[in-house]
Amino acid sequence: MGKLNLVQAIQNALMTEMQLDPSVMVLGEDVGREGGVFRATEGLQEKFGPQRAMDTPLAESGIVGLALGLALNGMRPVAEIQFDGFMPPAWDQIISHISRIRTRSRGRFSAPLVIRIPYGGGIRAPEHHSEATEAVLVHTPGIKVVYPATPYDAKGLLISAIRDPDPVLFLEPKRIYRAIREEVPEDPYTVPIGEARLVREGKDLTMVAWGAMVREAEKAADLAAQEGIRVDLLDLRTLSPMDDQAFISSVRKTGRAVVVHEAPRTCGLGAEIAARIQEEAILQLQAPVVRITGFDTVVPLAKLEHHYIPSPERILRGIRQVLAF
């Protein structure tokens, strides 16, 4: 066991599964010789060769379409889309084909593939490098959407995704790729897809976050604790299928909820979570659910990015708002 950051944990998971299963391979722009723009695939081509760590042209639809063909013919491909903002060209393959292949073939075929996507903002990148479009992905039946927030979960969830019989979109919070280190076992292990994680236990308010926003939510919970507020903080870990019973049970205990995400507010997952809470826990609710989110605008460039992404201070204001109702 060693202390790894999140990108090292992802590289470790890929190395582990490629050693165990010869059908596992990676493909994408610069994933082979260069080891990926964030070095998540570093060393894989040297160890497994260019047939299993394959560089591709700059063509996201082609990368994902090739992954589908490989999956239908017995491989377990892990495709990388270099940045979240490059996803739209691949959506046609994902929405029109990958998500539907099991239903379309009446269960005769499945697509056991993973699409890894460095995701979200916070690294002062240029346009098309900081998007958060998880609502579109979750709104597409037939795919699972995973979004780890810690190195331990990143390795365990990626191994679960690779071994899953159906397609999994694996969102990687690039803002915290190298921000956190924790103990990660060298041996293979899995973290179940579809189970939320209780980050900290509290009695005054439920807070739900995922990806890079879990770290900001923890900082906000620390600030709230200085005011005597105890937050029940949940990390969703998987956005589809969503562990809604985790946050509904928590809200039944606390009576209040704040949802945090960096994606735009309108029709974001915060709205879906608020709807599920009011459907199943309205009798326990003591205040309206508050959403702390990005804004309904194009992600701004570097100088304004910190105004767009929820900060601990903005989250704390939401906590106070819920408790003051």
- Residues labelled as active-site residues: 129
Angle at 46 between CA 41 and CA 48, to 5 degrees: 85
Q: Among candidates 51, 120, 111, which has minimal Cα distance to 85?
A: 120
CA 76 to chain centre: 20
Q: What is the DSSP string of 16-72?
A: HHHHH-TTEEEEETTSSSS--TTSTTTTHHHHH-TTTEEE--S-HHHHHHHHHHHHH
On whether the CB atoms of residues 9 and 180 are closer than 8 A, the answer is no
Amino acid residing at 162: I
Residue labelled with tokens 């921000």 = 179
Question: Which secondary structure element, helix H or strand E, spans residue 53, and what is its range?
Answer: strand 53-55
Residue labelled with tokens 């992600």 = 299
Q: How far apart are CA 296 and CA 287, in angstroms?
A: 24
Q: Is the torsion defined by CA of 114, 11, 9, 217 positive or negative?
A: negative
Q: How far apart are CA 67 and CA 80, in angstroms?
A: 10
Q: How far apart are CA 257 and CA 232, in angstroms?
A: 9
Non-local (6+) Cβ contacts of 226 within 8 A are none
Q: How far apart are CA 175 and CA 76, in angstroms?
A: 28
> In the structure, how many helices (H) and strands (E) does the chain have?
12, 14
